Each structure stands twice: as C-alpha cells, then as structure tokens.
Amino acid sequence: MKQTRKGRNWHFGMKLHIGADPRGIVHSVIATDAAVADVTQLPELLHGHEREVFGDQAYWKEDDRRFLESRGIHYRINRRPTYRRALSERWRMINRARSRTRTCGEYPFRVLKQLWGFTKVRYRGLTENLARAQTIFALANLYQLRR
C-alpha cells in the first residue's frame, strides 16, 4: 500500500475494483494501491462473457473502446470532458442514463461500507486486505441473493 495526494490532502491506502453483473453480483475483485489509475484495471475486471461494459469516467480509454467494440461488446463507459471542451448536453444525458444502469455495481459497496462497516482496513499489505475483501464480497453476493 502507498500514500498519495489528492488536492492538498494525503491518503494512505488501497482501492478495490470490482466486476459485477447487472444484478450487482461480484465476479472479480482487484486490490491496488491508491496511486494506481483506474483505467489500467479494466481488462482484469472482465470475465469474457460480457455483452456490455459499464463504468464511470475513470475507466474511459479510447483503445479499450475500439478493442471491445471490435469483439462485439458495447462500450457504455461514461465519457469524460476534455480540457478544451466540456461535454455537450447530449453526452451529459447519455452519461446520466448510463449511470443509472451502473449503480447496480455500487450495491455491493453499499453493503460492505454502510451495513457491515468495512470502511477502514486492518492490515498493511495488499494481499491480506484482498483476501479479506474477496471473502466479504462473497458474503455480499449471498446477501444480494437472499431473496
């Protein structure tokens, strides 16, 4: 785990990246230190049977879009505004519609953080925290499927 700066604040920790289906069931979990960019983790989150890929703006990459669309996978990751030009009203509406679908992938984090209190880690290493996170996400899957 590393420390990184966001604005003027320093953070020490890790990030959890998950791949989830439309029901919110997690199929892959990756733990990285806080300094790793989200866009580099997208290929590890895919299991190969996707028809659509949703994500927030941090996962947008033109090369990934071309590659996945050549394989017949719809790339539904929110677009980013560029530093020269803001997003048009049409793209903001598209991003908003995509975000509504993407929220299903946020439910496991709600279960972990709000219901079970998994907001801070106990261990220092990524491997120990990844093992704990995989166990907790497996339990969150059972919680999601309890109905």
| Residue extents of the structural domains in the chain | 2-140
pLDDT given for residue 27 in this prediction: 93
Cβ contacts of 99 within 8 Å, gap of 6 or more:
56, 78
Residue among 77, 10, 66 at smallest CA distance from 39:
77
Instruction: Give the containing element (helix H, strand E) for 146.
Output: none
Summarised one tens digit per residue, pLDDT across range 112-145 is 889 888 888 878 788 999 999 999 999 999 998 9
- pTM value surpassing 0.85: no
Summarised one tens digit per residue, pLDDT across range 17-49 is 999 988 889 999 999 988 788 888 888 888 888
Question: What are the two backbone dihedrals, phi and then psi, of residue 27, each rounded to the nearest 5 degrees?
Answer: -115, -15
What are the DSSP calls for 26-90, one per residue?
A: EEEEEEEETTS-GGGGHHHH--S--SEEEE-GGG--HHHHHHHHHTT-EEEEPPPPPSS-PPPHH
What are the DSSP calls for 96-127, one per residue?
A: HHHHHHHGGGGHHHHIIIIIT-TTS-S-SSHH
Q: How far apart are the C-alpha atoms of 137 and 147, rounded to whole Å?
A: 17
